[in-house]
Amino acid sequence: MKRFNAVLHLISPGCVVPIRRRLVSLLATGSALAALVLVQPLAGPASATTGIGAGRPAAAPTHLTTGSLAAPVDVDPAGTVGFGWQSGVARQTGYEIRVTEGEQGRGHTVWDSARVGSAAATAIPYRGSTLRPAERYSWTVRIWDERGRPTAWSAPAVFGTAPGTTWGTSTPIWSAPPAATAWTDYRLDVKLTVTRTALGVRFRSPDARNGYMWQFRAAGTSNANTLVPHIETAGTFQAGTPVPLNTTLAVGSTHDVRIEAVGPKLTTYLDGVVVDSRTDTTFAEGGIGFRTGSTETGTADDVTVTGLAAADNGKTLYANDFGAADASFPCGTVQNGALSVGTSTDCLSTNTSNDWALLRHDFTLDTTKDHKGHSAPKQVAWASVFATASSFDGSKQYVYKLYLDGKFIGLGPTESLDKETPYDGFDVTAALRTGGGHALSAVAYTAKDQRFQAYLVIRYTDGSTQTVGTGPDWTSMAGSSIWPSTRSSGTSVWNLPQEDITMSRYPDGFGRHGYDDSAWTAAVAKPAFADLEPTPVAKIQEQLRKPVKITDKGNGDYLVDFGQTWQGGVHLTLPGTAGHKVTLRYGEELSDPTTVRYRLRAGNEYQDVVTLRAGTQTVDTWGMRVFRYLDVLDSPVPITADNLQALALVYPFDESGAQLTSSDQDLVAVWQLAKNTIETTNQNFYVDSWTRERAPYEADSYIHQLASLYLSDDPTLGVYSMDYFANHRTWPQEWPLYVITSVYDNWRQTGATDQVKRMYDALVPKLLSKDYNAALGTIDQSDAIVDWPQGSRDGYVFAAKNTILGALSYSNFSQMAVMATALGKSADATTFSGIADKLRGTLNASFYNADKGAYDDGLDAAMRPTGHFAVQASAFPAAFGVPASRQQYDAVASYLTERGMACSVYCAGFLLQGLYNADHGQDALDLLTSHATNSWMHMIELGAGATGEAWDPSEKSNMTWSHAWAAAPAYVIPRDMYGIAPDSPGYDTFTVRPQPGDQTYGSVTTPTVKGTVGASFHRVGDRTDLGVSVPGNSSATVSLPVTDGYRGTTVYVDGRPQAATRQDGGRLAVRVGVGCHVLSTSGSRDVITDPLLTGVCGGAYRVGDAPTGTLVSTATAARRGTPVPFTLTLDQQVTGLTAADLKVSNGTVTGFTGAGIGAAGTTWTVTVTPRGNGAVTVRLPAGAAYGTTGRPNLPVGPLTLPPAGHGLRG
């Protein structure tokens, strides 16, 4: 399936759609906004002028992105390449993009857009000549501001193209399999104890999927006191007829078992007595092991294998009494001098699997001859390495970690969207700047379709290219002897072995050039990958995160708290003696105040045992555990933040990008928990939880995406994860409906229509059109999940016509109508809009109970209500804009407030959204900061490092603490509490409409495609003052809350009175432009110097500065009677400035026009007509006007324009 990296930017200027009421007015125009006053900013960007005496040029665009990423190197050259940037101009009126070959912007130009008249700055499509695969390009952009003045060119941004489906001569590889145990005739002795149900003994097993398994079943079970012979072939067991043991095999009793295999004859003894003798020719050789089912456990001790074949008759082939310090077995645990075999265990004494692979290859950079004829490494211009593997489905995670010279480069692949093979590209230029030898290496694990492929492309400054690819010339080592354990750290859904690592067998330094790999084997070539496609997302990083608390429990045991949940493992450096074992137990929570719950509620067992070698060594976890806490048991030295850190796998995340302050510290704690959850759960694909299922669900992914959109300006991971659902769906009836909402919201947030175009045909069938009853205006479908877990449904009554499906469908049809309009599909838009209107009308006429102030759970086929009012039945309509009036909203919100958080973490975000839609901000704040069981503060009090699948473990026995679908506060607070939402796609215009409740002060910042948007408030008495930071090329409608008794329509913006538009809910609205602003119904200078308001501006609001500025002219000389233009630019808004304040000699001011934003503030165009033939001088004296700080201006000028034939002075 072909994907696209980025596409066209579509803006529909006539369609201003406030998100807060988006489902009420999706098809409305922005006429109401046209009446709002546009207030120019207090501090803005530089703008360019031309000619002698011109002022500073406007600041060039910044934050350049390709495909919404800063510097990707795997852009699909066959797809649509899209460019974006941010700027500080008040309004962009045009742009010019220039793309060149190479990284320095000095190569051949492959595209120059010339000037394009447009305000668009997101997903601008490349329209040049065909881009070459595996190449590097740079691009730069300049823009024109609202006065038609060009900025300087931006600093170049770099992107690289992917290699496509052909990776030179590289081929997929894997390690050569380890040698299987080839014992033929032998005797196996073992002391066997069944501790629960049964214990199986394996013998003559050539590998883990084939061989004999004799199952000894204990008394008190089915087939009690019997031997049940099994033959496993290709992973499938065939059970034989149970054989009576003629003795009681009591649970907990120990018995001597002997099995002799000589040729085809198999003889079994129990306590010295023959209990079975048979002939079978299925297997002639193989090793030994143990197996248990899901209800079976046992112990084994004194295991001995003695050869009976002529070549090794009487020779001990294997012996283990499990008494030595380094005693181990690939499965089970050594306890009290015996092997304890837990449930669902299956392994051999020698791990013969080839699931772990270590791969490496040395290479040397190309050389050239210097002027003396000596060889020297060529200079590297750039280098990219591309990699993929299969299969993600094996453990539902990455398959490889890739290293260059022993340093982590990246991991992958991610989940495929359809049948393609996804791959990733990584920039390794800096790592290859030094000449000489280098090494590429990888550690990979999968039990399914074992293939790994890498392709390194090096471009030298002389234009030549060197490539290095995987193939049979690579060397390999099977990792089963390093990580012998077959015990799973996963669940019933996925499997990944515990990393019981034997450090003496780990090849330290194998990732560095020159490592002696003479004992390694040649890598095995594997079949080629089909349909290779680059993954258009940022790449996972390894980050070291220090513990926040370490508790010494004594005897070498330590409890480590990392303060928040991370995914990955540990970076641990310890001195050791050979054979000493250190146990690492990870967990999302504690089982008691000093013990990690490493056997998770979901069924995972997060325990790794490190068997040390002599000397100092460093252990880096390869796989992914999800944990906040760690128990380190039997450490030889004290555990400190210096020798132990979390080795966290993190999708690039700017922790400073979104920030929250509040007088209510519980609110900050809740928001931080949600933010931490998104940071750690992103990885390279959205799943419900990386702990239990590792599966994508539409509703989970939507909530995850929406939270991410308010925390980060990188939308690519969310887009990729939601694209998955174009070809997949999950079981709940509602879930596919969220794909429509996701695509819609992403478009509104980013302004990019690529996903809308790509997904439109897949979205239409997700509508419940087949269930739409046109005559009645209902969705005739009862199959809905409503809420999850089931116990959180508030007694919801399922009826033939489900209220929640109706509300979601109203939302979906409304959103599809808007997207259809944007794509020019007017017929679809009309149809969808008509259905939406009919659904909404019926929901309010037939499902809503005015006496109750709530929506009924549903109607039967005869349109009779159930008479039950679950909280979900009102929460979702309120969230999706179903109520028809403010009075109805108020009634529904009152009902929701009365019921409280009587729903799950999934429903919680929608319930809060409904309350904010109804202007019940205080009620929403109370729920956000509640300490009741159904609350985020309760999660925090339980010690959660990330949000859980449910409010409390009592609500879900197998819950995990790593569910992003409970992270709604991450978007509810900025979007609903502060009312920050795009009015038009891509934040060309947006709203700020705070509902602070009883907070005294607060602020929030959120990254957007235009730049960071900030909002703040400070309640002073009965007055609420606001601060807002508006990024360039954007404007905001700010809604200031006022008291019921306030009858005025004046808002002081940056200390200046402005006429405002009165809105519902006791609010006054004004429109403000780029920059930092403070708004109040008070004109006091205390407001504009209030740091609780201006702090959101990041220093742009210069409290205490006196206004200053510049005077410039584009003219070179003054001629009598010829008007001369001057431009006065001040660095902040001023009040009281008129033409009379300018001091002019030999001239008359004939024009004085305020013209918007200049170098760093307000700009006036002044026209002066010389009275005589001499020089003309213009100046602004000190004290002519007052700035936003309340201080008078400093003098500006003078600027003297000489008479013709003389030079400019000033």
Q: Report the pLDDT averaged over residues 343-369.
A: 90
Burial of 60 (0-12, 13-18, 19+ CB in 10 A): buried
Residues 651, 708: Cα–Cα separation, whole Å: 12
Q: Is the pLDDT of residue 38 over 70?
A: no
Q: How many CB atoms lie within 10 A of CB 264?
A: 12
What is the model's pLDDT at position 177?
86
What is the model's pLDDT at position 941?
98
Rg of the chain (C-alpha set): 35
Q: Is the pLDDT of residue 503 over 80?
A: yes
Greater pLDDT, 55 or 787: 787
Domain with residue 580: its CATH number is 2.60.120.260
Backbone phi, psi, residue 741, to 5°: -60, -40
Asked which of 198-202, 563-567, 783-787, 1143-1147 is least confident by mean pLDDT, the reply is: 1143-1147
What is the model's pLDDT at position 1197?
86
Q: Taking all residues of the chain, what is their mean pLDDT, rounded to a whole number?
A: 91
Domain with residue 117: its CATH number is 2.60.40.10
What is the model's pLDDT at position 325?
63
Q: Report the pLDDT averaged over residues 856-879.
A: 98
Q: Do 340 and 361 belong together in one domain?
A: no
* Strand ranges (E), 133-248: 136-144, 157-160, 173-174, 186-196, 198-207, 210-217, 226-233, 236-239, 243-244
What is the model's pLDDT at position 672?
98
Confidence of residue 30 (pLDDT cuts 50, 70, 90): very low
What is the model's pLDDT at position 754?
95
Whether 51 maps to a domain, the answer reads yes
Q: Are 658 and 974 in contact (CB under 8 A)?
A: yes
Confidence of residue 7 (pLDDT cuts 50, 70, 90): very low
Q: Report the pLDDT averaged over residues 852-868.
A: 98
Residues 624, 608: Cα–Cα separation, whole Å: 12
Whether 1195 maps to a domain, the answer reads yes
Q: Do 247 and 148 belong together in one domain?
A: no
What is the model's pLDDT at position 487?
82
From 839, 834, 835, select the one nearest 855 (Cα to Cα): 839
Q: Residue for token digits 């394009």? A: 116
Quick: pLDDT tens for 384-419. Answer: 999 999 999 989 999 999 999 999 999 999 999 999
From 542, 529, 402, select the one nearest 468 (Cα to Cα): 402
Whether 778 maps to a domain, the answer reads no
Greater pLDDT, 1017 or 178: 1017
Whether 807 maps to a domain, the answer reads no
Q: Do 1057 and 1149 belong together in one domain?
A: no
Q: Do 343 and 362 belong together in one domain?
A: no
Greater pLDDT, 728 or 1153: 728
Q: Do 1092 and 1138 belong together in one domain?
A: no
Quick: pLDDT tens for 1012-1071. Answer: 999 999 999 999 999 999 999 999 999 999 988 888 999 999 888 999 999 988 899 999
3-state secondary structure of 503: helix
Residues 561, 646: Cα–Cα separation, whole Å: 10
Is beta strand 772-773 parallel, antiparallel or unpaired with respect to 778-779? antiparallel
Domain with residue 1127: its CATH number is 2.60.40
Q: Report the pLDDT averaged over residues 589-614.
A: 96
Q: Report the pLDDT averaged over residues 168-173.
A: 97
Q: Do 362 and 213 belong together in one domain?
A: no
Q: Do 511 and 371 belong together in one domain?
A: yes
Report DSSP state, residue 908.
Answer: H
Residue 1095 corresponds to which tokens in the numbers above?
A: 């702090």
Q: Report the pLDDT averaged over residues 775-782.
A: 97
Q: Are 196 and 273 in contact (CB under 8 A)?
A: no
Whether 950 maps to a domain, the answer reads no
Query: pLDDT > 90: what percent of the chain?
Result: 78
Q: Is the pLDDT of residue 245 over 80?
A: yes
Confidence of residue 10 (pLDDT cuts 50, 70, 90): very low
Q: Do 68 and 52 belong together in one domain?
A: yes
What is the model's pLDDT at position 147?
84
* Strand ranges (E), 588-694: 590-592, 595-596, 607-611, 615-620, 625-633, 644-650, 659-662
Is beta strand 501-502 parallel, antiparallel or unpaired with respect to 607-611? parallel
What is the model's pLDDT at position 1207?
46
Whether 945 maps to a domain, the answer reads no
What is the model's pLDDT at position 37?
34
What is the model's pLDDT at position 1101?
52
Q: Is the pLDDT of residue 1159 over 70?
A: no
Confidence of residue 28 (pLDDT cuts 50, 70, 90): very low
Confidence of residue 693 (pLDDT cuts 50, 70, 90): very high
Tell me the residue range of the domain where 119 lies. 46-165
H/E run at residue 522: strand 521-522
Domain with residue 342: its CATH number is 2.60.120.200
Residues 792, 903: Cα–Cα separation, whole Å: 5
Q: Do 403 and 507 belong together in one domain?
A: yes
Q: Residue for token digits 């998100």? A: 19
What is the model's pLDDT at position 665?
96
Q: Do 343 and 358 belong together in one domain?
A: no
Whether 1045 maps to a domain, the answer reads yes
Q: Is the pLDDT of residue 504 over 60?
A: yes
Q: Do 310 and 441 belong together in one domain?
A: no
Whether 791 maps to a domain, the answer reads no
What is the model's pLDDT at position 918?
97
Last residue of a domain, one of 649, 673, 699: 649
Confidence of residue 1106 (pLDDT cuts 50, 70, 90): low
Helices (H), 900-1035: 905-917, 921-928, 936-941, 969-971
Quick: pLDDT tens for 431-452. Answer: 998 878 999 999 999 999 999 9
Confidence of residue 48 (pLDDT cuts 50, 70, 90): very low
Report the b/e string of 105-143 with b at 16+ CB within 10 A. Answer: beeeebbebeeeeebbbbbbbbebeebebbbbbbbbbbb
Asked which of 323-327, 519-523, 690-694, 791-795 is least confident by mean pLDDT, the reply is: 323-327
Last residue of a domain, one of 293, 321, 348: 348
Backbone phi, psi, residue 59, to 5°: -60, 140
Domains identified in the chain, total number: 6
Asked which of 265-279, 306-320, 784-798, 1190-1204 is least confident by mean pLDDT, the reply is: 1190-1204
Q: Do 133 and 193 belong together in one domain?
A: no
Last residue of a domain, one of 506, 530, 554: 530
Confidence of residue 17 (pLDDT cuts 50, 70, 90): very low
Confidence of residue 53 (pLDDT cuts 50, 70, 90): very low
Q: Report the pLDDT averaged over residues 215-223.
A: 96
Q: Report the pLDDT averaged over residues 116-137.
A: 97
Backbone phi, psi, residue 608, to 5°: -125, 140
Q: Which residues contact 731 (CB under 8 A, 6 or more apart)?
A: none
Residue 713 corresponds to which tokens in the numbers above?
A: 């300006």
